[in-house]
Structure 1
Amino acid sequence: MIGDEMTATPAPDAPPSTMMTDEEYGASRASAALWAGTSVLITDRRGRVLIQHVDYRTTCLLPGGAVDANEAPARGAARELREELGVTTTVDQGLAIDWVSADSLNAPADMRFPGEILHVYDGGTWDDEQIAAIRLPDREITALEFVEPARLPDLMAPGDARRVLSALRARINSAGPALLENGVPIAATVLDRAGALRTARAPHHLSFHVGPAPEQLSVVQVRGWLLGPDGRVLVLLEPDTGAALLPGGAPELPDGGDPLVTLRREAREEAAAEFGVPLFLGHLHDPGKPYTRLRYAAPLTRLGPPSADPATGRTRIRLLATPEQALELFDWGSPAADQLAAVHQARARLGIPRAARQPLTELPDATDLAAL
C-alpha cells in the first residue's frame, strides 16, 4: 500500500488526482515509464573514442545496450562489455545521464518509443594490451574503431554524438556526471560552451628532448607551461573552434632571437599573462626537419583583463587545468608522457604543489592568483 491517504474515500470536493488506489497509482506511473539504456566511454592513450560498427544500423554506437528488468545500469554496462567486447571489468564511474525525449529519434510509430534514460559510464583509458584482449561476438558487432572526438558527429546519430562529446567533456572537467537533455548539458561547463573537441585536434607526436636544442636548428615555436600557485596550468581555448593551446607562439623579428622575449610577448598578447623566472624544459623536433619547438615552465604571476590577440583579433578563453587535464585536450601521442614528467620536475623545483584533479576554472576577468 502506498499510504493510507491514497486509499481513503475522497471527500466530495477533493481533486480526483490526489486520491488513488494502489492500482491507479501504479497505472499512472507506468504510463509515464521510459526505457533505460547504458553505455561505456572508452578511450585510447591518444584520447580517441572507442565506437562499434553494428549490423543492425548505419550509425555507430558506444559499447552498451538496454538495461534488463531489475538490473542496475552499472551492472548492465559491465554485462554489455562482457557480451560485446569479451572483457570483464567493474564499471562504477558515471559520466552522464541523458533524458532522451520520445520525439527526438524519429522512431517508427510501431516501436512506440516512450523516451529513454541513458547512463554513460567511464571505461577509462585502455592501453595496447587491453585493446588486444578484445574479443567480438559472432554477430551484431562487425568492427571496432578508435576515432578522434571531432569525427563522432559524422559516424553516430546526432543525439548519440552529442551525448558522447558531453560525457567526454565531463570526464575531462572532473566535476561529476553531467545531466543531459537529448545530449545537451542542462548546466554547460566552459568546455561545453567553447565546443571543446568539436574540431579535430592536430596530431603532434614529436619526440621530447630534455636539454638545449641543437644550434643548427631554427626555433619556430616557443610555448610555456605557466603554473598557478595551486599547481594548475594556464590553458587557452580558441573561441571559434574550441581548440586548446598553451600560451606561446612563433618568434617575430622584434624578439631579437630571444625565445623568452617571444614567450613573454605571446603570453601577454594571448592571455594578458605575466610569469616569473622560467625553467627550460626541452625541445620538440621533427626528424629530418631543420627546426625545433621549445618548451618552458614558469610560475604564473599575473592575469590581467583579457583582450583580443592582435595577430588574430580573437579573445581566447582562459582556463586553469591540471597538467594531466591539459594533455587530454591535445593529441600529442606517447611522447607527451616525457614532457609531462619534465613539467612536474620543474614544478617541484619551483616549489609549487602538485594539483589535485578538480573542475576546470575559467578566468574571464583579471584574476587574483593568490585567491585560487
Structure 2
Amino acid sequence: MTTESIPDEPPNTTMSDEAYGALRASAALWVGTSVLITNTLGQVLIQHVDYRDTCLLPGGAVDEGESPAHAATRELMEELGVTAHVDRGLAVDWVSTGAVNTPAVMRFPGEILHVFDGGTWDDDRIAEIRLPPSEITAVEFVEPARLPELLAPADARRALSALRARINAAGAVLLENGLPIAPTVLDRLAVLQTTRPKYHYPWHEGPAPQELTVAQVWAWLFAPDGRVLILLDPDTGSALLPGGKPEEQDQGDPVSTLRREAEEEAAARFGSPLLLGHVTDPPGRRAYLRHAATLTGVGPARPDPATGHTYTRILATPEQASELFDWGPPAAAHLAAVHRARRQLGIPRAALQPVTELTDGIRLHPGCTGSSQTAG
C-alpha cells in the first residue's frame, strides 16, 4: 500500500506505509497529563515529590495505548489514592524542547500535555487522600499566586493558564509552553498571579452597629443578564468590587460614598442599592459594607483620581467573581446573600459564560443582556 500527499513532500508523491510511519515516528512527542484540583477557598492542590526540588500537579506520563483522560484517572489513584472520573479538559499545552531543563541523555523531543479539571474538593473529599509509600511526600493547597514560587516555571504557567480557563468557562484552551495562543483578558492581566485580596473577616447580615466605623463601602452591581461588574487592576490583575473609602464630602452617607467611588473607579451608574450586610475586621472596630444594585450604565474608562489607575472592567457571574477574591470560609454566606439580593432586584441568575471586558461606554436597559451591550 502507498500513502499519497504526504506532508512536506511534493504533491502526488507516494511513500510506502513503512516510510510514512518512520517519518511520523521521527517527529513523535511525549504525551503527559495533569489534573487541576482546588479546595472551596480557591487554593490549588500541589504535590511535594522525592525526586525533584519543585512541586507538581497530580499527573504523569500517558502509557502506550492509553488515553490522556484515562491516564489522569489512573494517576489520581496511584498518587492520591482517590477514585475520580476525569472528563473535562482545561488546556492542551505544546511544550517545546527548549522550554524545560532536561538532561541531554534524556533526548526530550517535546511534549503534548493535557490539563484536566479535577473539580473543587470539600473537606470530606480531601480527607480521602492516601499517599503512596514513595514519590509523593506530601500534598498541600496553596494560593494560586504561590505557584510560580513552588512549581517549575513552565509548570506554573500551565497551571495558572488552566485555572484562568476554568474560571473563564470558554472551554479548553491551547497553550504553547504554558501560555495561551489566544489570551483572554484574564491572561493578559495575569489574573491570580498576584496574591488575591484577603478578607477573612466574619460576615454579618444587615446594617453595621452604630459604634463601628465604616471603613469601606462596596457593591455588587448587576447587569440585566445577572452578571456583575468587577474591576481588575491593570498592574497586578487583582480584582476589586466597585466602591471605596468614605470621604468628608459624602457626609456620612454610605450610598453617597458608593455612587462617588463607582463613578470615579468605573464610570458606573446604578439604581437604588440594597444593603446585603457587612464584615468586621478582627479587632471589631471597623465595618466594611456590602450592597447590591442594578447597573444602569457604564461610561468610557478613565483614570481613578485616587490611584491614577484606569481599571479594566469585566462582567462575570457572581461565582466567577468570588474565585478572584480570598474571603475565606465566610465567602459562601456572602455569596448566598448576593443571590438573595439578586432575586429581590428581579434579576435572573446568570448563565455560566466567558467573562466580557467592557471597553466602551454602555447604557443598560431592563430586559437586555450585558453581552449585547459590551465590546472587547
**TM bucket normalised to smaller:** over 0.9
Select the residue among 88, 93, 97 that pairs with 1:98: 93
Partner of 1:307: 302
Q: Residues 2 and 368 from structure 1, CA distance in 2 versus in 1: closer, same or farther, beyond 3 angstroms? A: farther
Partner of 1:339: 334
Deviations 1:330-352, CA, capped at 9 Å, x for gaps? 11112111111111111111111
Alignment partners' CA distance in 2, 1:284 and 1:230:
27
Unmatched segments (≥5 aa) in structure 2: none
Partner of 1:289: 284
Amino acid at match of 2:13: T
1:150 aligns with 2:145: yes
Deviations 1:183-206, CA, capped at 9 Å, x for gaps? 010000000001101111132111
Contact 1:48 1:148 in 2 (8 A): yes
Contact 2:296 2:363 in 1 (8 A): no
Alignment partners' CA distance in 2, 1:324 and 1:41:
18
After TM superposition, the structure 1 stretch with the greater mean CA deviation from structure 2, 208-217 or 219-228, is: 208-217
Q: Map of 1:225-236 to 2, 5 A cutoff? A: 225-236=220-231
Amino acid at match of 2:27: A
Select the residue among 240, 255, 266 that pairs with 2:235: 240
Partner of 1:352: 347
Contact 1:52 1:142 in 2 (8 A): yes
1:23 aligns with 2:18: yes
Contact 1:6 1:21 in 2 (8 A): no
Q: Map of 1:307-326 to 2, 5 A cutoff? A: 307-326=302-321
1:82 aligns with 2:77: yes
Partner of 1:10: none
Q: Residues 116 and 216 from structure 1, CA distance in 2 versus in 1: closer, same or farther, beyond 3 angstroms? A: same
Alignment partners' CA distance in 1, 2:332 and 2:87:
27
**1:6 deviation in Å?**
7.1
1:32 aligns with 2:27: yes
Partner of 1:136: 131
Amino acid at match of 2:20: Y
Amino acid at match of 1:100: V
Contact 2:274 2:292 in 1 (8 A): yes
Contact 1:37 1:66 in 2 (8 A): yes
Contact 1:166 1:185 in 2 (8 A): yes
1:361 aligns with 2:356: yes
**1:17 deviation in Å?**
8.6
Amino acid at match of 2:298: L
TM-score normalised according to structure 1 size? 0.96
- 3-state secondary structure, aligned to 2:117: strand
Amino acid at match of 1:128: D
**1:286 deviation in Å?**
2.2
Unmatched segments (≥5 aa) in structure 1: 8-13
Deviations 1:100-150, CA, capped at 9 Å, x for gaps? 001211321110100000000000111111111100000000111111111
Please provide the CA RMSD for this pair. Answer: 1.5
Select the residue among 324, 329, 332 that pairs with 1:329: 324
Q: Residues 255 and 34 from structure 1, CA distance in 2 versus in 1: closer, same or farther, beyond 3 angstroms? A: same
- 3-state secondary structure, aligned to 1:203: coil
Amino acid at match of 1:308: P
Partner of 1:187: 182
Alignment partners' CA distance in 2, 1:222 and 1:2:
72
Amino acid at match of 1:192: D
Alignment partners' CA distance in 1, 2:266 and 2:5:
62
**Structure 1 segments (4+ residues) deviating >6 Å:** none
1:58 aligns with 2:68: no
Q: Residues 17 and 34 from structure 1, CA distance in 2 versus in 1: closer, same or farther, beyond 3 angstroms? A: farther
Amino acid at match of 1:353: P
Contact 2:197 2:238 in 1 (8 A): no
Partner of 1:112: 107
Contact 1:6 1:22 in 2 (8 A): no
Partner of 1:277: 272
Partner of 2:218: 223
Alignment partners' CA distance in 2, 1:332 and 1:255:
27
Contact 1:54 1:143 in 2 (8 A): yes
Alignment partners' CA distance in 1, 2:275 and 2:69:
46
Amino acid at match of 1:282: G
Contact 2:46 2:58 in 1 (8 A): yes
- 3-state secondary structure, aligned to 1:330: coil
Deviations 1:237-260, CA, capped at 9 Å, x for gaps? 000000001000000111100000
Partner of 1:165: 160
Contact 2:200 2:327 in 1 (8 A): yes
Alignment partners' CA distance in 1, 2:168 and 2:90:
10
